């Protein structure tokens, strides 16, 4: 560590700061997108449940009046 710091020029901190700013921006962007992806995932789960419920619903019984007219 001491060797590395002595080998670096005096103003290396500025260069490191610039590259770290860029990295931080990228990470913030990816983090926000990951958060949004989590929301998409929740929506998919919700839709999956809705589809399951629709499939599990029994066929609707015909109204009584309709039954009488058929006879």
Partner 1 sequence: MITGYALAAFYAPMDADQGFIQKIFYLHVPMAIVALCGFVFGGICAVMHLRTDDSKWDLRAYVAIHISIILGVGVLLTGAIWAKASWGHWWVWDEPTLVSFLIIFLLYATYTPLRFSIEDREKQARYASVFAITAGAFVPLNFIAVRSATSLVHPRTLSSTGNLPGDMALTFLVCTIGMIMLYVLLWQYEMAHKNTVAQLRSLKRKLAGDDGLRARRSAAPELQV
CA distance 48 to 40: 12
Helices (H), the chain: 2-7, 12-56, 64-70
Positive or negative torsion for Cα 9, 6, 15, 13: negative
Q: Minimum CB separation from partner 1 for residue 17, in Å?
A: 5
Q: Residues 22 to 61: which contact partner 1 by CB under 8 A?
A: 22, 25, 29, 33, 36-37, 40, 43-44, 46-47, 50-51, 54
- The contact set with partner 1 (CB under 8 A) reads 8-9, 11-12, 14-15, 17-19, 21-22, 25, 29, 33, 36-37, 40, 43-44, 46-47, 50-51, 54
């Amino acid at each position: 560590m001491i060797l590395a710091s002595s080998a670096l020029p005096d103003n290396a901190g500025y260069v490191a700061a610039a590259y770290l700013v860029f990295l931080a921006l990228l990470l913030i962007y990816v983090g926000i997108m990951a958060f949004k992806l989590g929301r998409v995932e929740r929506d998919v789960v919700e839709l999956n449940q809705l589809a399951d419920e629709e499939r599990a619903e029994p066929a609707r019984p015909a109204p009584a009046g309709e039954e009488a007219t058929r006879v």
